[in-house]
Amino acid sequence: MWPQVAAYPQFMNTTKFIQVPDAASLAMDYLKNDADDRGELVTLNVGPSHPATHGVLRLKLVIDGEEIVSCDPVIGYLHRGMEKIAENCHYNQFVTYTDRMDYLAPMSNNIAYACAVEKLLGWELPERGQAIRVLCCELSRISSCFLGTGVYAMDCGAMTAFLYAFEEKERVHNLYEQICGARFTSSYTRIGGMTRDLPKGIEKQILDFCDSALRTVDEMEKLLLHNKIFIDRLVGVGVITKEMALQNGMTGNNLRASGVKRDLRKTNPYLGYEKYEFDVPVAEEGDCYARFQVRMEEIRQSVRIIRQVMATMPGGPIWVQLDKGILPNKKDAMQGIEELIRQFMVSTECVNAPAGQVYFAAENPKGELGFFLDSQGGGIANRLKMRSPSYCTLSILPELLPGHLVSDVGAILGSFDFVQGECDR
C-alpha cells in the first residue's frame, strides 16, 4: 500500500465525483517522486456491463500495474426519471414504479412508499395490516440478504454457495407469489392497505421456510466464513471507518459493519416494530468480511422477527377503516351507488391528501430508503424525492478503492450489496 491519501487530499473532501485527477497529472506527480519507481498508468474501464458491477455501474479506474490509483464511478445508466414520473401519476399508480427501484426487495419499497404517503395523510393501519407489512418487509430482507451474500460468494469465486443462497431466494419468491400474485414485481401495497389478505394455509409454509433459511445460513457460514482463502481475501480489504461511513451517508448493513448501531426499526420504529424482539448486528472492523458477517446475521434476526409475527398475528381488517380514499368492497360497488362512486373516485383521483411536506424513511435491506413528499393537496404529489441507500453507498468508492488491487474491485463492490436500479432511479 502506498500513501495515496496524502498525495491526493482532494479525494477526501468535497470534490469527489466531480474532479478526479486525470491520468496525466497523476503521472506527473509520480515522475516528481524519485523514491519509488512507478510504471506507466493505464486507464481501465470497468463496466457499464461487467460481471463485477452487478448491473450497469461504470468505473473509470486508473491503474498502476494491478494497483488502483484512482476511481471515478459513473452512474445513471439505469436512470428512468422516477421522481419526475411521480409528479405525473397519483399515489396508487406510482406503487408499481417502486417495485423497479430495489428490484431485489420490491416488497420493502412498496411498503416504505405506502407508509410515506400514509404519514402524509395521517392514517394508521389496523394491527393485522401492520403485521402483514412487517412480515413482507422481513421476507424481502431475507431474500435480499441471501442474494447479497450468495452473489458475493460468487464474486470471490465460490459458485456453489451462490446456488445454495439462490435456492432460498427462490422459496421467498414462491411465498411472494402466494401472498401478492407476482413473483418479482409485487406491487402489493395500496395507500391505506394491501391488495389482498394472506392466503389460507401460508402460515405453515412460512414457518417451514424459516427453518430452511436458518439451515442454509449455517451451511453457508460453514462453507465460507471459516475458509482460509475467503478470510484472506476479505479481512482488512475495503476498510471503512466510522467517520468515512457517516460522512458518505452510508446506512443499513454497511454502516452497522463499520461500528455504528443505527437501525431505523429500533431508533424510530414504524409499523409496530417496537413490539418485536430482535438484535441489531453490529461489527467494528468495517471491512468486507464484517459486512458479509453482518448480512448473514441479519437473516437470522429477520427469521426471528417473522416467527414472532406469525405467532402473534392478529385478526381483523387489513385496510384503514375510512369512508373515503380507499377502495370499497367489490361486491358493494356492484350494488350500491355510493360505493360505485367511491370506487370510481379512488381509481381516478386516489386520496385527497392535505397540503404539506413529509419525510418517511424505512430500514430497507440496502439501507435507509427515504421518501420526501411535497404535496399541494389532491391525489398527485407536487414533488417526490427519494433518498436511495445504494446511491450514498457508492459515493464512497473514489475514496475507498485507491490503493487496492484490481482483484479487490469485485470483492469491495460485492460487499456493498448495492442495486443500480435504486441508485439511478
Partner 1 sequence: MDAICNWWNDLMSNDIWFYLLTTAVKLVIMFALILAFVVLSVWIERRVAGWIQDRPGPNRAGLPLFLLQRFGSKEKQPLKDVLHFFGIPETSRIARLCTWLRLDREIPTFGLMQPCLDGGKLFLKQETTPSYVRKLYFIVAPMLVLGPPMVAAAVLPFASCVDTIYGSISMCVANLDIGPLWIFAISGLSVYGLTLAGWSSNSKYPFLGGLRATAQLISYEVAMGLSVIPLLMMFGTLNLQSIVQYQADNGWTLLPLWGEGLSLQRWVMMLPLGISFLIFVTCVFAEANRTPFDMAECETDLVGGYHTEYSSMKFASFFMGEYAAMVIGSAVVVTLFLGGWSIGFGADAALASYSQWLAVLCQTLMFIVKLLAFIFFFVWVRWTLPRFRWDQVMKLGWLVFLELTVANIFLTAAVLYFVK
Query: Which of 242, 224, 222, 341 minimizes the C-alpha distance to 287?
Result: 242
Query: Which of 224, 223, 242 minimizes the C-alpha distance to 234?
Result: 224
Q: Which three cell numbers stand for residue 32?
A: 516528481
H-type helices in 16-123, by residue range?
23-32, 82-86, 91-99, 106-121
Q: Measured from the CB atom, is 81 or 236 closer to partner 1?
A: 236
Q: Measured from the CB atom, is 51 or 377 closer to partner 1?
A: 51
Give the contacts of 319 (CB within 8 A, at least 6 positions apart): 125, 126, 129, 192, 193, 194, 326
CB of 329 to partner 1, least distance (A): 45
CB of 44 to partner 1, least distance (A): 6
Q: Which three cell numbers stand for residue 125?
A: 393501519
Q: How would DSSP label each residue in 374-394?
A: EEEEESB-SEEEEE-HHHHHH
Cell 475495503 found at? 238
What element of type H or E holds 344?
Answer: helix 337-349
Q: Which three cell numbers stand for residue 130?
A: 401492520
Q: Measured from the CB atom, is 50 or 58 closer to partner 1?
A: 50
CB of 254 to partner 1, least distance (A): 19
27 touches 43 (CB < 8 A): no
CB of 39 to partner 1, least distance (A): 12
CB of 201 to partner 1, least distance (A): 26
Q: Measured from the CB atom, is 62 or 380 closer to partner 1?
A: 62
Q: Measured from the CB atom, is 62 or 381 closer to partner 1?
A: 62
CB of 407 to partner 1, least distance (A): 5
Pairing verdict, β 353-364 and 58-64 = unpaired
370 touches 359 (CB < 8 A): yes
Q: Measured from the CB atom, is 230 or 416 closer to partner 1?
A: 230
Q: Measured from the CB atom, is 57 or 158 closer to partner 1?
A: 158
CB of 213 to partner 1, least distance (A): 15
Q: Measured from the CB atom, is 159 or 341 closer to partner 1?
A: 159
CB of 160 to partner 1, least distance (A): 5
Binding residues for partner 1 (CB under 8 A): 42, 44-46, 50-52, 66, 153-160, 163-164, 167, 223-224, 227, 229-230, 232-233, 405-410, 414
Q: Measured from the CB atom, is 18 or 24 closer to partner 1?
A: 24
CB of 158 to partner 1, least distance (A): 4
User: Taking the CB of residue 335, how many other CB atoms lie within 10 A of it?
Assistant: 9
Query: Which of 277, 267, 270, 238 minimizes the C-alpha distance to 362?
Result: 270
The three-state secondary structure class of 247 is helix
To 5 degrees, how large is the angle CA 186–CA 298–CA 163? 65
To 5 degrees, how large is the angle CA 124–CA 130–CA 133? 125
